[in-house]
Structure 1
Amino acid sequence: MTDLSAIGWRWTPADLDPAWRALMQAHPQARPARIVEQHRSGYRVAEAPGQAFPAESLPQWQRAGSYRKGDIAPEERPAVGDWVLVQGASPDGLRMVALLPRFSAIKRGAAGEHYRQQVIAANIDTAFVVCGLDGDFNPRRIERYLLLVSGHGVQPVVVLTKADLAVDVTVAQQALRGLQVPHVMLDARSPDAAVALAPWLQPGQSVVLVGSSGAGKSTLTNTLLGQARMKTGAVRARDARGRHTTTHRALLALPSGACIIDTPGMRELKPTGEEDVSESFADIESLAEQCRFRDCLHDQEPGCAVRAAVASGALSEARLAHYRKLRQEVDAAARSRAEKVAARTGAVRSPGQGQHGRH
């Protein structure tokens, strides 16, 4: 298991999840491997760092564009970071025979009118939400990324890149008040970046980078690797937006013993309905507990602690408005998800909204 540990395997036979153990016993000729790349044409897996071999997937996983009733849901298909059981010999004879259950995953609602989920990365410990301290800086987009991470057992860390630019970092710090998650400011090209992020890059840890194009994800990946493996590009001067230099998700082993997953920039960040809004906006939820009325709408009601915080400058009006907007989106996605599940199972389901906050 030494080679596997370099790509994130950290279990002994004694502490394996019972479901994993059962699958491994059901496929005694198979061995664990990790999906390290996902392309339109298929998957590539590794059993050691520096590897990436194509692997044939099970037939029920191959209908990526099929959503007929009874087909496997997109979020149940393999994704980068997943552990699978493989048989055969590399480089051309590998076949995936089982998907081991995930201990965490980051998902988003896929683009389009119909409800679908897309897994961004699986079996990860930390998500670096990367945002540049240039024209890319957008507190509302950061909040949306943090919402997608919430409730899935993943530790979010806000990583603000381009700290070498002549910017007033106090403005960014002020804008991030209330997030209640760690945040780090750094120059993605500097070796000091590895030092600043070291607490989350310990051996056996898996980290995913998410953020818009041009935020510095691939540059940071190259710095942490100590070599230029990922393609990088310049951003447009007029709006600080980047082009999609990363075209697919890829998992790479770092010298520190951790693994990192670089992802393409995402322009659309739709919730899945499984997110925990109260976790992402704990500051507003805490204030709401102090309101005079339990069903306070934080509008014109007397004794509203939330409006009082806005009036005093402790809470920004923009953050409160975004909180309301995201709650509506999550509740709508939860209803769509319940309808999708009911259609697939033939059951009548009620989405419930208890997990999404009180207000």
Structure 2
Amino acid sequence: MTYASPYPELPENAGGFLSWLGIGRQPRPAEMPAVPSATVAEDASQRARRHLLEQISAFLLENGLEVTAQNLVTAHGIFSGLNPGLRRQVQAKRESGCPITQAWLDRASANDALDGEQIVKQLVSQLEQGIASFSRSTSNARSATRTYGDALAQHVGQLEASPPDAGMIITELAQYARAMLERSRKAEAELRQSEQEAASLRRNLDRARRDAEVDFLTGLPNRRAFESALERHRSEAAEMGEPLCVAFCDIDHFKQVNDTHGHEAGDRILCVVAKTLSQISGEKCHIARHGGEEFVMLFRGASTEEAFELLDNARAELAARKLVNRRTELPFGQVTFSGGIADVFAYPDARLALAAADEALYRAKEAGRNRIVLARKDS
């Protein structure tokens, strides 16, 4: 007995796509666009990283929080499980219907912060790695999706080129294939957007890291940046046989300036001193604001005597200026600073050299201020 096929006779140019679907003749390898594994599913670790990044991004955006290094670290602690106490606080805040503001987050994270500079660096590093991994995965998935869509588009073209009398099955298959192609192109567009978002997040993280190492008032590097530079230059100078000196400088009677003229005027004095010291900085001399009215400098390739001459000239230049408060037209009086200098290689490590420079600064203050003092060799 002979059975009739339930399908109409198909045109030759539809064979490739139908064979790929398992209808008609056996498939040939050249006609089968492989479905990339990257478009089907990501492995568990990729999904976890993606989910963590999405949670962090949503938290910052939904609450109107800036993308700063501290906020990224705080959000990572909340959603990675590293800071369960803060996570519970955030959850309680949400359940109460109260907004999560920057001020509240700063207080909450300060009260329940993860201690240690190394932990912060580790978290930022993990976040960077997560962003990089997410970006690579998204890029690979988009590339595979594009290849898949191009192959699918060829078969859609074959089906749509079929003669009008090809039958209902061909029309339906063409419609189904066209819908698949549209979904593929949509997925490709979404993956491209995810790539752009990952790149934007990476740029924001880079900017946040730079901002975290800059003193916003004076524009100088801050203490964290200086300590990193000190270790790097100490290693390089030791390898090249260059001298290296460190100096602490402190504005004299700064509290009196604030008490007499106000903190805004005090900030301007800080900027004046920062600019004075910056004039002697360069490729071999680095300056940073160490905190408060204190600055720290690194002299590479200069002996303690040479560093003393440079710093003392800057001190004398500032002391000779007649500064006036522009808001009140009242003179500030003589503005001076004191300093202490130490030879970094005269001590077992850089921290001991910093301590010696600080001790020399103290002696300069005790001796009457407005002077530079060299650290004792036995200090």
Larger C-alpha radius of gyration, 1 or 2?
2
Pick the structure with more helix per residue.
2
Q: Which has the higher contact order (CA 8 A, sep 6+)?
A: 1
Say which structure is richer in strand. Answer: 1
TM-score range, shorter chain: under 0.3
